[in-house]
């Protein structure tokens, strides 16, 4: 391999590939980035246990003097390219499994990793695939993935359950204390589908997706899913097992409904979280509807003090007064993914899950289980 490449473009693509770079791995080859130069272009590949990325370098000025494939130590290569001066970098594969990196007045030699140890990866595109707008995909991920479980004792809950039914795509996530659900309408009808994609994979995918009007192709396979976005192929494993039936968790009737200004509700809960018997975001906060239709948000920590917030709801409260306690972390995280500035909180009973919806967040529902207090 012997090429000349624009430094900034190389770095840009390296930083995409970096999202799937392993830091700790039993296979040292996975600490490497595979650089394949062939047919006038360069392809960068990385992989860890959850995801693999394959990105084609977009650089019209790329000069290929000799084709070839090398496996560079990822962390060092990225740091070197980041720090180089000059516009152009020359990469030359030398004898003894070395890569020579030349730019401006720098002459750097890097020991390469063994290409033979690199696993074969299958970025296989299917004939039938789902087409979805980048923005729509980002919305459904942003509004669900935060609610996945971070604890591994029920691995299936660490993923988001995506199902397709005709023209409807639904994403659901729950850690068994709260649940997020978002449905979107697709532009055409698809065969039924039901997969669980790891939440962490989706978080990494989000970092690569830009905010634009383009489309992403989603290719589903037996135990993996491939996202194709511009010059990037993003492969994630799927979680095995049956995702729990979540429909039953969602109450069908809500005798009490309160419409809040979202920002006011968020800041009140945040202040109440400051002084609570449990630390930080796991604070337990109480919500109490008074007879005079004022909502109290409160917390109490005998050692530190207490907070009492009064909120006048946006509309008249529907239903009779209610008292409920919840973990502020769950409610705050849910509130923050709404686009609407007004939120309707719907209650079924003091120990039943309550639900949040917003007028400008169509087909999106956030559910939180209350906490029992004495």
The answer to the question of residue 306 lying near its own copies (CB under 8 A) is yes
Angle of helix 328-336 versus helix 262-274 axis, rounded to 10: 150
Q: Specify the DSSP class assigned to residue 119.
A: P
CB 340 within 8 A of CB 323: no
By beta-carbon proximity to its own copies, the closer residue of 245 and 303 is 303
80, 186, 249, 318: which one binds its own copies (CB under 8 A): 80
Binding status of residue 73 toward its own copies by CB under 8 A: yes
Segment interacting with its own copies (CB under 8 A) among 12-20, 128-136, 194-202, 265-273: 265-273
Per-residue H/E/C for 330-363: HHHHHHHCCCCCEEEEEECCCCCCEEEEECCCCC
Nearest alpha-carbon partner for 164 in 155, 153, 156, 172: 172
Based on the shown chain and the rule CB under 8 A, indicate whether residue 86 belongs to the binding site for its own copies.
no
Shortest gap between Cβ of 265 and its own copies (angstroms)? 12
> Does the protein bind its own copies through residue 107 (CB under 8 A)?
yes
Q: How far is the CB of 290 from its own copies (least distance, A)?
A: 13
Write down the least CB distance from residue 296 to its own copies, Å: 10
Of 187 and 263, nearer to its own copies (C-beta) is: 263
Does residue 113 contact residue 71 with C-beta atoms inside 8 Å?
A: yes
Provide the 8-state DSSP code for 190. E
From the list 35-43, 74-82, 178-186, 248-256, the region that binds its own copies by CB under 8 A is 74-82
Work out how close the CB of 267 gets to its own copies at its nearest, in angstroms, rounded to a whole number.
Answer: 6
Shortest distance in whole angstroms from residue 106 CB to its own copies: 5
In whole angstroms, give the CA distance from residue 246 to residue 227. Answer: 26
The residue (of 76 and 360) whose beta carbon lies closer to its own copies is: 76
Q: Does 307 bind its own copies (CB under 8 A)?
A: yes
57-94 as b/e, with b when 16 or more CB fall inside 10 Å? bebeebebeeebbbbbbbeebbebbeebeeeebbbbbe
CA angle at 284 for the pair 251 and 174, rounded to the nearest 5°: 40
Spatial contact of 233 and 193, defined as CB atoms under 8 Å apart: no
Candidates 93, 309, 342, 361: give the one binding its own copies (CB under 8 A).
309
Q: 215 near 230, Cβ under 8 Å?
A: no
Decide: is 287 part of the binding site for its own copies (CB under 8 A): no
Instruction: Kindly state the smallest distance separating residue 311's Cβ from its own copies, in Å.
Output: 7
In this structure, the number of other CB atoms found within 10 A of the CB of residue 238 comes to 18
Q: Three-class SS of residue 283?
A: coil
> Which residue among 35, 55, 89, 110 contacts its own copies (CB under 8 A)?
110
Residues 102-115, buried b or exposed e (16+ Cβ, 10 A)? bbeeeebebebbee
- Kindly tell me which residue out of 29, 64, 108, 121 binds its own copies, with binding defined by CB under 8 A: 108
Size of the site for its own copies (CB under 8 A): 30
Note whether 93 binds its own copies by CB under 8 A. Answer: no
Least gap, CB of 335 to its own copies (angstroms): 15
328 binds its own copies (CB under 8 A): no
- Of 11-19, 48-56, 271-279, 363-371: span binding its own copies (CB under 8 A): 271-279
Instruction: List the one residue out of 332, 328, 334, 326 whose CA is nearest residue 372.
Output: 326
Among residues 119, 166, 305, 319, which is the contact residue for its own copies, using CB under 8 A?
305
C-beta of residue 106 within 8 angstroms of C-beta of residue 200 = no
Contact 49, 200 (CB under 8 A): no
Residue 370 near residue 324 (C-beta atoms within 8 A):
yes
Q: 4 vs 97, which CB is nearer to its own copies?
A: 97
Give the residue, chosen from 60, 96, 105, 192, that forms a contact with its own copies under the rule CB under 8 A.
105
Q: Which residues bind its own copies (CB under 8 A)?
A: 73, 76, 79-80, 83-85, 98, 105-111, 267-268, 270-271, 274-275, 303-311
């Amino acid at each position: 391999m012997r090429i000349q490449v624009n430094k900034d473009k190389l770095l840009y693509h390296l930083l995409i590939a970096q999202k799937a770079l392993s830091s700790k791995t039993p296979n040292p080859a996975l600490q490497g980035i595979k650089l394949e130069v062939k047919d006038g272009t360069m392809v960068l590949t990385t992989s860890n246990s959850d995801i693999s990325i394959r990105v084609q370098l977009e650089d019209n000025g790329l000069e290929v003097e000799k084709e070839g494939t090398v496996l560079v130590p990822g962390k060092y290569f990225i740091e070197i390219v980041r720090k180089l001066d000059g516009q152009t970098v020359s990469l030359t594969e030398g004898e003894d499994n070395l890569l020579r990196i030349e730019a401006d007045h720098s002459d750097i030699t890097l020991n390469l990793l063994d290409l033979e140890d690199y696993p074969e990866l299958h970025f296989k595109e299917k004939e039938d695939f789902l087409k979805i707008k980048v923005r729509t995909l980002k919305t459904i991920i942003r509004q669900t993935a935060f609610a996945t479980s971070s604890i591994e004792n029920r691995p299936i809950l660490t993923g988001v359950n995506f199902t397709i039914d005709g023209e409807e795509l639904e994403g659901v996530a729950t850690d068994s204390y709260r649940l997020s659900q978002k449905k979107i309408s697709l532009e055409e009808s698809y065969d039924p589908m039901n997969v669980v994609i790891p939440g962490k994979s989706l978080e990494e995918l989000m970092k690569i997706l830009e905010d634009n009007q383009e489309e992403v192709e989603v290719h589903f396979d037996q135990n993996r899913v491939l996202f194709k976005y511009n010059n990037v192929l993003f492969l994630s494993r799927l979680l095995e097992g049956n995702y729990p039936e979540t429909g039953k968790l969602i109450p069908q009737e809500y005798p009490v409904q309160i419409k809040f200004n979202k920002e006011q509700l968020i800041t009140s809960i945040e202040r109440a979280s400051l002084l609570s018997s449990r630390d930080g975001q796991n604070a337990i906060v109480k919500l109490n509807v008074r007879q005079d239709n004022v909502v109290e948000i409160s917390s109490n920590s005998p050692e530190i003090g207490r907070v009492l917030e009064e909120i006048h709801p946006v509309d008249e409260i529907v239903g009779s007064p209610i008292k409920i306690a919840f973990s502020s972390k769950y409610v705050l995280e849910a509130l923050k993914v709404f686009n609407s500035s007004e939120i309707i909180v719907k209650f079924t009973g003091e120990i039943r899950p309550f639900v949040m919806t917003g007028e400008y967040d169509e087909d999106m529902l956030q559910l939180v289980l209350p906490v029992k207090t004495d």
